[in-house]
Amino acid sequence: MLPLTESEIRASFTNTSAHEIARMTLPGLHEIVWEDREFLGWRDAHAIHRGYIVYWRDDRPVGILLKAAGSRMRPGISAMCSLCRTPLPGGQVTLFTAPRAGQAGIDGSTIGTYICSDLTCSMLIRIVPPKSDMQPDPADVIASRAEGLSSRLNSFTDDVLRAG
């Protein structure tokens, strides 16, 4: 992923108001290893039910506001993130909804999906078994996982941007 500035991030959001963008808490951008990410995802430190995803799409950054469900999955069950396809304990996957862009979102139309609670899919896809004669090259595994993650993120974004 190419690096983003604070102004690029704030200008990228497609499904939220200028007021919410102004209130958004950003992560420490100087700490991010950009080349190891398919998207920048974070939870708002001052609004625990808000999350954000920003990534490069068609040579421009696109941002999506997410709202986490207030309830958690029942303890003891497993769940899978719909973006990175990583199976995790249920408490580490959250139902996030995203208001649709435009008038549909203003009218209350949303899209929902299960995503890693901490929005760290880019890190999870880079955890691979050690290379052996029986395993494919770890770089190939990561490349394949990154391609799948990016494809699913684009599909989710298409749904957010589609008029209700």
Beta bridge mates, 17: none
What residues contact residue 128 under an 8 Å CB cut-off, 6+ apart? Answer: 138, 141, 142
Q: Burial of 103 by CB count in 10 Å (0-12 exposed, 13-18 middle, 19+ buried)? A: exposed
- Name the pTM for this structure: 0.91
85-116 confidence digits (pLDDT tens): 999 988 899 999 999 999 998 899 999 999 99
Where are the domains positioned within the chain? 6-161
Asked whether residue 137 carries a pLDDT value surpassing 90, the answer given is no
Asked whether residue 80 carries a pLDDT value surpassing 80, the answer given is yes
SS3 140: helix
Asked whether residue 163 carries a pLDDT value surpassing 70, the answer given is no
| CA separation for the pair 40, 55 (Å, rounded) | 6
Our CA angle for 53, 98, 6, nearest 5°, is 30
11-30 confidence digits (pLDDT tens): 999 999 999 999 999 999 99
